[in-house]
Structure 1
Amino acid sequence: MNNAEQINKWLDDNRITEVECLIPDMTGLARGKIVPRHKYNPAEGLRLPEAVLSMTVTGDYPDQDFTSIADPDMRLIPDASTLRPVPWNLEPTAQIIHDCTFFDGRPVDLAPRNVLKRILKLYEDEGLKAVVAPEMEFYLVEIQPDEDIPLRPPVGRTKRTEAGMQSFSIDAVNEYDGIFDVMYDWCEAQGLALDTLIHEMGTAQMEINLDHGDPLALADQVFLFKRTVREVAIRNNMYATFMAKPMQGQPGSAMHLHQSVVDKDSGKNIFSLKDGQPSQKFFHFIGGLQSYLPPAMPFFAPYVNSYRRLSRYTSAPINLSWGYDNRTCGLRVPHSDPQARRVENRLAGVDVNPYLAIAASLACGYLGMKQGLMPSEPLSGSAYEQPHQLPRHLDDAIDMLLKCEPLTNLFGEHFIRTYSAIKEAEYREYFDVISPWERRFLLLHV
């Protein structure tokens, strides 16, 4: 049974009446079309303007054209492995992620899903396979339609907001049982492999971990999970936000990424030797992360708000120190048995596009292994006391990315230039906005 036959059978068996045809855009949002079942032909796919992939988070475009001036279509081909129900719709509805191709069959190089596939192919060509496990932090907040009013924690089942920090509190999680019960049901219906749920440091800040597995499948799950949680929260009269730093005085939200590499044939973890000791590849992988994460920061901190999180005052990484089970480091190696040896990248905010963040982290590690880069000595003390080693602002990060030839070679010059132009356009738009702080302290005082 081919891809199209498999999809048609599933749609018929589940009596689907509508199909949500999705692609992730540069921000990680779902774009696409909703098609009546009787008009959806998976063998043919459908069409969408290529320019969708050069949109900013505000729906604008860079000043320069990075797609054809004629604004042509691209072809969307469904991936049968991503076919899932939409559990919150009243009518039987399917959602399926599509891959973007040109009409001659070539993958569209600006499509984030294709970017991740491109990096995974590098591993495959070396007889290797990457394994990842994302951890996502997010806040539940009170609905507030006025953007000028700061966000506030929502009221829970006790009709009160949380008092103080409630890290790892079971009772604090239970305040929102109505949300999480539905969330787990909807995620199970979609085949999203949730692991643990905990209360994080912030007020009404939660963390969900996903089971480890194939990077493309996990990026798809993060993409769908964000969509699901937002929908559950809205139906419970609150917002779920994946901003990196949504509230003043509260910790930021990260997407920590656990990474390991296995031999494609044997499945053995190449980060460990037969005697259980760490391998040279393990150290080279960390060396690559330390060398290339700074220029790759626009993928891990893609917005102006992202850099509010990366401060020594917010319990977030500020440098590239690494250590064994040291959560103050940007790169942490958790205690594990040798077969599960992995590196946790703690730099990414949860506001990232999961396809691009996973691709960038694996690309940095790949370069380290190919170039034989060695890391610094592991740190046992606090990395918060170490010097700041990361770009402090989005515009600085963009400059570093554009000058990094090894990353440009892996991702493709067209993609790097387009992505950088999108981020520059977003930064320019933000820079035009005058903040309440400036009006309060500068208006009559300078």
Structure 2
Amino acid sequence: MPEGERTNIEKWLKDRRVTEIECMVPDMSGIARGKILPTTKFLESYKNETLRLPESIFGQTVTGDYIDESAILSEIEPDIILVPDIATVRMVPWYDEPTAQVICDAVNRDGTNVSIAPRSVLKRILKLYEDQGWYPVVAPELEFYLAAKNIDADYPLEPPIGASGRPEKGRQSYGIDAVNEFDNIFEDMYDFCEAQEIDIDTLIHEAGAAQVEINFNHGDPLELADQAFLFKRTVRQCALRHGVYATFMAKPYEHEPGSAMHIHQSVVDKNGKNLFASRNGRDTKLFLHHIGGLQKHLPTAMAMIAPNVNSYRRIVKWNAAPINTHWAQENRTVGLRVPESDAKGRRIENRVPGADANPYLAIAASLACGYLGMMNEIKPSKPKEGVAYESRGFALPKHLLDALGKLHTNRELKEVMGEEFVTVFMEVKDVEYNAYQQVISAWEREHLLLNV
């Protein structure tokens, strides 16, 4: 570690009178795991690379349980080393005491990246692109709901009370006044994002009651994944400050649309030229092959972009979410939409991922599918004409178990994502699915208790 780099971070922390630092690593679900250190302890750990956590955090489920038996993870739970990525150091704006946060890479004792860490997986995909002279550019769009506090999980969610004193009823797509009902929350959100250098752009009201969407400006995939990771935490904190919840569940309400994480993606060369469009503005073969790869591999990548049992409640016919991998220009019923743009802005919008997905894995999986298409020169289908929901059947898995089965069969995708990662990821999801299977739902009691 260069001494100058350490001096700079020392000065940065000193100038801001930081007393504590949150050292975070995203787990399989995108939850922030890590340690909180006093500043002096952090600097010592950073210098000597002594900040450690057990490898098993990547085998931890969304419920906090662990894998019982793993083909990859050791039963003795050895430590991994957390190496803070100093480029990600930011202040935590919602604390009274000056506190910083930093996202860490997980590395082995020999200095190599931990292959099962989600941030490492995204770096792996970006390296594959770089080896070909390709540099992907992404722009996520994240949807989420605001909800009244839900203390008892047995009760359904309800929309929160807005400035008018009433909960939102009906649907208010693109409604300005409907967004302004929660101005206090969104003002904090923009302030907190600015303080953390989270580059968000447009705020719109989505179709659901108290559902909104935030668009990120396009940029480097790793930086955007970091920002989306921090953004989720930020929005939840903003909402809590005002006595409500913010949720990124894919389908939190029974009769409302689900929440997505649309990923706009393109590929440029080292000079920044968009490789998806020719000089005269036509689609290039590379662009079409990228779409072909998404069409072929997205159904088997679903477990990484729709990672929870709840995710598949969003993927239903006529519910503002795609059910297939058709593509078309300016058509929001398809899974792969090509927005109207000039040659410089030519891109594909992957509309399949849910808001509940780990942003590192969702971006990595989406780019991996496109990469395989470009490498193998996969031809896409013809662009879809008309409404895609009318197409016969689903092209996407209908539940998590189906998605995991499809992922298991795709050797190409497992190879580019990393065999060890895919193995542990599937082990984590198996544990989560088995836990879900132990729960008896209200629907079962309502319709089966006295009728079968």
Q: TM-score, normalised by structure 1?
A: 0.99
Q: CA deviation at 1:2?
A: 4.4
Q: CA deviation at 1:440?
A: 1.1
In the aligned structure 2, how far is the partner of 1:249 from the partner of 1:201? 11
How large is the RMSD of aligned CA atoms in angstroms? 0.9
Residue 384 of structure 1 corresponds to 389
Task: Select 1:100's aligned residue among 95, 106, 111.
Answer: 106
Matched letter for residue 201 of structure 1: A
The structure 1 segments of at least 4 consecutive aligned residues displaced by more than 3 Å after TM superposition are none
CA contact (8 A) 1:74 1:103 kept: yes
Residue 43 of structure 1 corresponds to 47
SS at match of 1:104: coil
Q: CA deviation at 1:15?
A: 1.1
Task: Select 2:283's aligned residue among 278, 284, 298.
Answer: 278
Q: CA deviation at 1:390?
A: 0.6
Matched letter for residue 442 of structure 2: P
Residue 70 of structure 1 corresponds to 76
For the pair 1:202 / 2:208, whether they are aligned, the reply is: yes
Matched letter for residue 148 of structure 2: E
Residue 34 of structure 2 corresponds to 32
SS at match of 2:264: strand
Residue 116 of structure 2 corresponds to 110
Q: CA deviation at 1:375?
A: 0.4
Residue 344 of structure 2 corresponds to 339
SS at match of 1:274: coil
Residue 375 of structure 1 corresponds to 380
Residue 356 of structure 2 corresponds to 351
Matched letter for residue 288 of structure 2: F
For the pair 1:259 / 2:265, whether they are aligned, the reply is: yes
- Name the CA shift for 1:216/1:2 in 2 (closer, same or farther; >3 Å): farther
- Name the CA shift for 1:338/1:207 in 2 (closer, same or farther; >3 Å): same
Q: CA deviation at 1:408?
A: 1.1
Matched letter for residue 36 of structure 2: I
CA contact (8 A) 1:317 1:346 kept: yes
In the aligned structure 2, how far is the partner of 1:267 from the partner of 1:2? 30
Q: CA deviation at 1:63?
A: 2.7
SS at match of 1:295: helix
Indicate the larger mover: 19-28 or 7-16. Answer: 7-16
In the aligned structure 2, how far is the partner of 1:118 from the partner of 1:288? 18
Residue 60 of structure 1 corresponds to 65
CA contact (8 A) 1:324 1:380 kept: no
Residue 229 of structure 2 corresponds to 223
Which aligned pairs between 1:41-440 and structure 2 lie closer than 5 A?
41=43, 42-45=46-49, 46-65=51-70, 66-264=72-270, 266-386=271-391, 387-440=393-446
In the aligned structure 2, how far is the partner of 1:147 from the partner of 1:97? 31
In structure 2, runs of 5+ residues without a counterpart are none
In the aligned structure 1, how far is the partner of 2:341 from the partner of 2:38? 49
Residue 18 of structure 1 corresponds to 20
Matched letter for residue 19 of structure 2: T
Q: CA deviation at 1:32?
A: 0.3
Q: CA deviation at 1:70?
A: 1.5
CA contact (8 A) 1:3 1:79 kept: no
SS at match of 1:294: helix
Q: TM-score, normalised by structure 2?
A: 0.97
Percent identical pairs in the alignment equals 57
CA contact (8 A) 1:138 1:243 kept: yes
In the aligned structure 2, how far is the partner of 1:409 from the partner of 1:4? 37
CA contact (8 A) 1:6 1:80 kept: no
1:104-163 CA distance string (max 9 Å, x none): 101101110000000000011011100000000000000011000000000001100112
Q: CA deviation at 1:414?
A: 1.1
1:43-100 CA distance string (max 9 Å, x none): 2241111100111111112231332222111101111110000000111100000100
In structure 1, runs of 5+ residues without a counterpart are none
- Name the CA shift for 1:9/1:408 in 2 (closer, same or farther; >3 Å): same
In the aligned structure 1, how far is the partner of 2:255 from the partner of 2:181? 22
Matched letter for residue 252 of structure 2: P
In the aligned structure 1, how far is the partner of 2:105 from the partner of 2:320? 38
In the aligned structure 2, how far is the partner of 1:207 from the partner of 1:3? 37
Matched letter for residue 161 of structure 2: V
CA contact (8 A) 1:116 1:358 kept: yes
Q: CA deviation at 1:13?
A: 1.5
